[in-house]
Chains A and B, each alone.
Chain A
Amino acid sequence: MTVACACVLMTWPAAAQEGHPLKGSWLGTWTGNTTHDPDLILVLNWDGKAITGTINPGTDNLAIKNASLNPDGWVVHFEADAKDKSGRALTYVIDGKIENLHLPNRAVTGTWKNQKESGAFKMTRQ
């Protein structure tokens, strides 16, 4: 059942989104992360002044902060406070770039790091 649902999720066409390019739900992976699940889910919003959102809502519930989008190159930056498995505070710093801006299922690729580890990530808008 879980597998079937996952397949549906993975093949669901991206909803049209012609407004702010980051707004929406994003699904992807961040490699090398031993603290959190390698699957990455982001829900992002834009209120006209700030980008807000949550990493892995429902599980990790990491609120993003200091989020920005530089339209010169469509460069994305955001951060999120978390805790490792021992309870030690971590701060994720995530930097990427929007690819295929014109597509509903556009992607953001880049790198992430915290005080313990780092890696690459890619997420695609759903």
Chain B
Amino acid sequence: MRSATRRLLAAALTALVLAAGASARLAAHHEILAKFDDSKRMTLKGVVTLIDWRNPHVHVFINVRQGAGQLANWAIELESPIDLQKSGWNRATLQPGDAISVEGWAARDGGRQMWGNSVALGATGRRVLNVTPRAPAPLVSARPTPRWPDKQPRLGALPGGTEGYWAYPSSTVLVENGANIPMDAWGLLKNIADAPKVAPMQPWALALYTARQRRFLRDDPMFLNCKPPGGPRQFQQSYGVQLVEDRERSRVFVLIGSGNNNYRIIYTDGRGHVGQIGGDDDNPLYYGRGVGTWDRDALVVDTRGFNEDFWFTNGGLPHTEQLRLVEKFTRTDFDTMKYDVTIEDPGAYTRPWSSSWTLRWVAGEEMPRHYCQDNRS
């Protein structure tokens, strides 16, 4: 049946579908340009041999006939299963034996790998990959901030109400407030000369940041080793966060939908930092030690005790164990969370600096479960 269908489809035109690279990058869970060169566009036609439907990115392997008639197996890297499913395709969309046409970008290392911006059935030209940039549903009207009986704002879902989580950060890059610096969604500068404007870095930190940028962020430990997106980065990821208030135990859990899908605890029981930093066997930590207090309608979180094993921003800004974050969470209305962070790190920066963005409430959905551990052994 499938071969008959394919014969029927073979009568149709082969079409190539050009997808916007920018939108693909917006959906990707890390910097695609670390591995692929968007200036080297290429098209491949071949037959599917394997579909590896796993995080962090789906891979489709195809046999491509080369000039002398030999077959070469190419790996086509695509978006994550979450993004592909949201765009309407699934693990059965392609099958081994399907002839496809792929358009995308060549690997920087010259290997037989390619980033697929578009995939079309070779026989028909029917587009089977069509990743559409995710965007929040338009707000019908501003709803008031939900509150607990004691009038404190709720940070998460209403009891008995629909599920939801926070996503769609208004900025996915950490830059000092007021700086307007062209960079892509993963913090890759359009112009490397702008590096000093991103944040007030010490000379070594600026040089390291610049070196990371020149390598297209390919050394990102979250990308390479599935390290947690600690610090402000957890609020700039593709798959959002949940804030779960455990008032009985006086803590807020931050459940992170990206990276290695772990969580962070913000203590709201009045404890201080004294005796914890350097005193706990667990310190220093990827998410630090967060202590929260309420300042009117804002949860203010003082976090210290970070380790240096991860990048705390998408663009590769360095930090040291002296990093201290003062974060302010303000649910300005039902659908909007304002996030303000002040970065103090005398080990890497010349002065404290701040950045701000908002997150949108995604109502009626469970947070996507993305595991970067997949496909890593």
A interface list, Cβ under 8 A from B: 15-21, 23, 46-49, 69, 71-72, 74, 101-102
Shortest Cβ distance from B210 into A: residue: A71
Q: Which of the four size classes fits the interface of chain B?
A: 20 to 34
Q: Quick one: given A18-B308, A20-B347, are A72 and B322 in contact (CB under 8 Å)? A: no
- CB-CB under 8 A from A16, the residues of chain B are 221, 225, 227, 308-310
> Which of B134-142, B190-198, B313-321 lies on the face that meets chain A?
B313-321
Q: Is B348 among interface residues, defined by CB-CB distance under 8 A?
A: yes
Shortest Cβ distance from B225 into A: residue: A16
Instruction: Pick from B208, B309, B310: contact of A21, CB below 8 A.
Output: B208
Instruction: Pick from B203, B207, B221, B322: contact of A18, CB below 8 A.
Output: B221
Q: Is B212 among interface residues, defined by CB-CB distance under 8 A?
A: yes
Query: How far apart are A78's CB and chain B's nearest CB, in angstroms?
Result: 15
In the bound complex, do residue B309 and residue A71 qualify as a contact, i.e. CB atoms below 8 Å apart? no
- CB-CB under 8 A from A71, the residues of chain B are 203-204, 206-208
A interface: dominant SS: loop
Docked complex Cα distance between A69 and B202 (Å): 12
Contact flags (1/0) for B205-231 with A, using CB distance below 8 Å?
A: 011100110010001010001010000
Instruction: Pick from B202, B204, B308, B347: contact of A17, CB below 8 A.
Output: B308
Q: Quick one: given A71-B204, A102-B212, A102-B215, are A18 and B347 in contact (CB under 8 Å)? A: no
In the bound complex, do residue A21 and residue B322 qualify as a contact, i.e. CB atoms below 8 Å apart? no
Query: How far apart are B307's CB and chain A's nearest CB, in angstroms?
Result: 8
Q: Quick one: given A46-B320, A47-B347, A48-B347, are A17 and B309 in contact (CB under 8 Å)? A: yes
Instruction: Pick from A21, A48, A101: contact of B346, CB below 8 A.
Output: A48
In the bound complex, do residue B309 and residue A18 qualify as a contact, i.e. CB atoms below 8 Å apart? yes
Residue among A47, A49, A71, A101 facing the most chain B CB atoms (10 A cut-off)? A71
- CB-CB under 8 A from A102, the residues of chain B are 211-212, 215, 219
Instruction: Pick from A19, A69, A74: contact of B320, CB below 8 A.
Output: A19
What would 15 A/B residue contacts be, using CB atoms closer than 8 Å?
Answer: A16-B227, A16-B308, A18-B221, A18-B308, A18-B309, A20-B204, A20-B308, A46-B347, A48-B202, A48-B346, A49-B346, A71-B204, A71-B207, A101-B208, A102-B219
In the bound complex, do residue B204 and residue A48 qualify as a contact, i.e. CB atoms below 8 Å apart? no
Question: Could you tell me which residues of chain B, from 221 to 266, have a CB within 8 Å of some CB in chain A?
Answer: 221, 225, 227
- CB-CB under 8 A from B308, the residues of chain A are 16-20, 23
Q: Is B311 among interface residues, defined by CB-CB distance under 8 A?
A: yes
Query: How far apart are B65's CB and chain A's nearest CB, in angstroms?
Result: 38
Docked complex Cα distance between A106 and B287 (Å): 25
Query: How far apart are B348's CB and chain A's nearest CB, in angstroms?
Result: 7
- CB-CB under 8 A from B204, the residues of chain A are 20-21, 69, 71
Docked complex Cα distance between A18 and B323 (Å): 13
Docked complex Cα distance between A102 and B212 (Å): 8
Shortest Cβ distance from A101 into B: residue: B211
In the bound complex, do residue B225 and residue A20 qualify as a contact, i.e. CB atoms below 8 Å apart? no
Query: How far apart are A49's CB and chain B's nearest CB, in angstroms?
Result: 8
- CB-CB under 8 A from A23, the residues of chain B are 308, 320
In the bound complex, do residue B322 and residue A48 qualify as a contact, i.e. CB atoms below 8 Å apart? yes
